[in-house]
Structure 1
């Protein structure tokens, strides 16, 4: 296993592999995402446009088996910026973590922790952010597609120092694997001070 760090347009050769990885991983609960690789490639290309974006790639040989992203919040989509503006938090002071995706066979090896460490260290090196932040989908405890024994990542995030800010919320639309079309899903943010 190796970790490779790339920024901005340097991710371009990896976009197709990352789009496929995201589509595969996000099909599972809690995202249940019926995605398309074309859409994912387009989404990732927006990150590539930010010269200060971060891609932390986990490779087994030359195969990408996991990835984690980050971008200065001003370069993220408006749907992520707006809750901070509304709460009186300057988006220019927030480094936004887009997502972490990792194939199931590679979980439990410390890569999730490494993804957070790399993104946090990068945000500190940029030396202008007060917060690292990410958002996560909220699903009801009785969701019909919730697997038996499912354990949410809240405790893992808490151990990394992140605090759930239920007051910072947004909505994102996508098609679930059991839906005919898109519907909006509630997302809430987790924050950690960088200093």
Structure 2
């Protein structure tokens, strides 16, 4: 394994990485808890949101020229209604919320501190943009007895707490996608975690 490089890119600079990012997202999100049966066409369309927003950021983990990990973030004002609604319902100002959408990392590169860097780089980007009082992300809620839950699965709650994020059960939404083994999309419950900026 060569030295891993961590790079940030925003807006149109992302375009060259779209194929690798789509492939990586499909690969990683097949794992529990997302169990996402994704398609390249959907991923390419989804990533256009970040391509079209100059205030977005994608943090890349590169091994040579290969993308082995990526972490996305965008001001909440540019996100979908499903993501915005819980914050509007609870009196948050969207322009003051920075949304760390997802992180994906090839399993061969986990445990090397890359996940920590993903948070650090996204938070640094939010600080450079300025004006944010809250940084957030959300995760899917799966039952503890889910049939596809691996016996050795460890939730990331402690990792997120250590980064300063705490679960806010009052901030929740749902998102549609097709699970592995399913024939159609179903709504998945999603709960937000929040870190207040000082």
Normalised to the residue count of structure 1, the TM-score between the two structures is: 0.99
Q: Is the 8 A contact 1:7 1:52 kept in 2?
A: yes
Equivalent residues in 2 for 1:1-195, closer than 5 Å:
1-195=4-198
Q: Distance in 1 between matches of 2:122 and 2:13?
A: 17
Query: Residue 164 of structure 1: SS of its match in structure 2?
Result: strand
Unaligned runs of 5+ in 1: none
| Count of aligned pairs | 195
Q: Distance in 2 between matches of 1:8 and 1:31?
A: 26
What do you get for the CA RMSD once the two structures are aligned?
A: 0.6
Q: Distance in 1 between matches of 2:176 and 2:158?
A: 26
Query: Residue 68 of structure 1: SS of its match in structure 2?
Result: strand
Q: Is the 8 A contact 1:120 1:194 kept in 2?
A: no
Q: Is the 8 A contact 2:10 2:50 kept in 1?
A: no
Query: Residue 188 of structure 2: SS of its match in structure 1?
Result: strand
Query: Residue 54 of structure 2: SS of its match in structure 1?
Result: coil
Q: Distance in 2 between matches of 1:98 and 1:12?
A: 18
Q: Distance in 1 between matches of 2:115 and 2:88?
A: 29
Q: Distance in 2 between matches of 1:148 and 1:191?
A: 28
